[in-house]
Amino acid sequence: MNNEEVLSMFLLFIIICVSSTIAFLFSALEASLLSLSNTDIAAISMRHTKTAETLKGFKENLQKPIAIILLLNTLAYIVGASFAGSVINARFGSQWVGPFSVVFSIFLIPWTEVLPKIIGVRYNRSIASRIAFPLTILIRIFSPIVALIHLITRPFEKTQKKDFSTDTLNEISLLARFARFQNIISAKQEEIVASGIQLSQHTVEEIMIKREDIKYLSTRMSLTDAFIEAHIHHHTRFPLIEGDNLDAVLGYVNFKDMVNVLRLNPQNPSLKSIARPILFVKPKDKLSEILTQLTKGYQHIAIVKDENGKTLGLITLEDIVESIVGSLSDEYDVLPTFCYPITETRFVVGGGIKLSECRKMLSSELPDLPITLNEWLLSQFKTRPKPETQWTYDHITFTVRKISRSKIHEVIVDLKSSG
């Protein structure tokens, strides 16, 4: 073999090595970027914040980095095959170009497609971290070509922009579901994770207590009257309003402060003197933001106002927590289902008892409906009843004995004729 033949074979070897190596690198890079998840980017951000920001930008607009990678990868194939083919043609003749192309393709498929993509997916974080900066430079250098590619492919692209934040939330939910599938967490824990990450997607107006359902105290009330009102509704904190103007909220009053002032200063009690500052929020505020404000300010309730200062409702820390973990009922939320006789014709009945049960135990004159006594009585009253409110149904007298959080907790049922 003469020097010219050696040089030709060496040149062929160099061309094959260079082109296949470039194709290998860009195939691995393509696989690492496409397989990079939001979780991977978050893990990278713990050590390399700037790199993570760059990769986040790549994920939000994958067209640019992928276009550059595919462009250079394709160029490596074309240039390598062209030069190698010309060397084969010059050295061995055109009859060997076809067989060489077959052998070259068989070599390239595992070396530049299968193996690099396996490596790219397996080590995506490490590869992506190292190529973020060089790829940014390549995008800037080839930006005119990328713009031309975008112009050509634009008619085939979706016009809707991908929401990176929504994808991130969905990915967290899927990770929680996968953890549940693997029995790492319970179904309730999965529900809490899924609900917790959705706080930033929900607003105050979705869970607030409506204006007409707010239980408040007024500056016109004496402390004793306010104490009775608070005892009836079984809340701990009540908004304090000026007179009867629900739009003029002065603050809130804590039931414990009312008890203390009645004990320590019973001669000159005042609701204003024990009122505390209250948080005001907008109906479109995100629940995640309000949760932060309430916890940082050590507050439990906030008044919801519109842009004109009108009170729209009230939101509590308990409401937000319930949207994450589910209902947090206490002994005042669960209506009792008892039915005790006082005399032969008088009974103490819990508001949670089914009306059909009342019909069996008290009187067949009562309607046979699949609802509770509380629900039925509330549907009969034109306004919200107060303790000692009476109502007669077909010679049966109902006397509201206790109201708990806008529900009829306890009733006296008198089977005697009301006259």
Q: Enumerate the domain spans of the chain.
A: 3-162, 165-197, 204-325, 339-414
**Residue 304 · residue 314 · CB < 8 Å:** yes
At residue 15 the predicted structure's pLDDT band, cuts being 50, 70 and 90, is confident
Statement: residue 165 has pLDDT above 70: no
pLDDT (average), residues 404-417: 80
Helices 3-35 and 115-122: crossing angle in degrees, nearest 10, is 40
pLDDT tier, 324 (very low <50, low <70, confident <90, very high otherwise): confident
Q: Are 352 and 372 in contact (CB under 8 A)?
A: yes
Average pLDDT over residues 404-408: 74
For the ranges 89-103, 239-253, 341-355, 364-378, which has the lowest average pLDDT? 89-103
Residue 359 to residue 368: CA distance in whole angstroms: 7
How many helices (DSSP H) and strands (DSSP E) are in the chain? 17, 12
Average pLDDT over residues 287-296: 91
Q: What is the mean pLDDT of residues 211-237?
A: 84
Mean pLDDT, to the nearest integer, of 339-346? 88
Instruction: For the chain, give percent helix, strand, coil, nearest 5.
Output: 60, 15, 25
Phi first, then psi: what are they for 413, rounded to 5°?
-110, 120
Summarised one tens digit per residue, pLDDT across range 343-372 is: 888 899 999 999 988 888 888 888 888 899
Beta-sheet pairing, 217-218 with 237-242:
parallel
* Strand ranges across the sheet with 346-350: 339-341, 346-350, 407-414, 396-404, 390-393
Count of alpha carbons within 13 Å of 95, Cβ hemisphere only? 1
pLDDT band (50, 70, 90) for residue 23: confident
Is residue 418 predicted with pLDDT exceeding 50? Answer: no
Instruction: Give the pLDDT confidence score for residue 310 in this predicted structure.
Output: 94
Question: Binning pLDDT at 50, 70 and 90, where does residue 89 land?
Answer: confident
- Joined together, the tokens standing for residue 188 give 């309730």
pTM of the model: 0.53
Rounded to the nearest 10°, the torsion over CA 82, 88, 89, 91 is 140
Cα torsion 31, 37, 39, 43: sign: positive
419: confidence class by pLDDT, cuts 50, 70, 90: very low
> What residue type is 145 in one-letter code?
I
Q: Which CATH class is domain 339-414?
A: alpha beta
How confident is the model at residue 331, as a pLDDT? 53
CB 419 within 8 A of CB 248: no
Helix (H) or strand (E) holding 214: none
- Contact in structure between 223 and 261 (CB atoms under 8 Å): yes
Q: What is the pLDDT of residue 164?
A: 56
Highest mean pLDDT among 115-124, 164-173, 381-390: 115-124
Q: Work out the average pLDDT over 28-45.
A: 88
Domain 204-325, second-level architecture: Roll (3.10)
Specify whether the CB–CB gap between 224 and 302 falls below 8 A. no
Q: Does pLDDT of 264 surpass 80?
A: no
Asked if 132 and 51 count as a contact pair (C-beta separation under 8 A), the reply is yes
* End-to-end Cα, the chain, rounded Å: 129
Cα 352 to Cα 338: distance, rounded to the nearest angstrom: 8
Of the pLDDT bands very low, low, confident and very high (cuts 50, 70, 90), residue 327 is low
Q: What is the pLDDT of residue 289?
A: 92
Average pLDDT over residues 334-349: 87
Q: Is the pLDDT of residue 129 over 80?
A: yes
> Count of alpha carbons within 13 Å of 194, Cβ hemisphere only?
17
Q: Pull the structure tokens for residue 405.
A: 């959080």
CA 407 centroid distance within chain: 31
Mean pLDDT of all residues belonging to the chain: 83
Amino acid at site 12: L
Query: For the chain, what percent of residues have pLDDT higher than 70?
Result: 90
What is the predicted pLDDT for the residue at 11? 77
The dihedrals phi and psi of 238, each to the nearest 5 degrees, come to -130, 135
Question: Once rounded to an integer, what is the mean pLDDT over residues 311-333?
Answer: 77
Average pLDDT over residues 48-56: 90
106 vs 326, higher pLDDT: 106
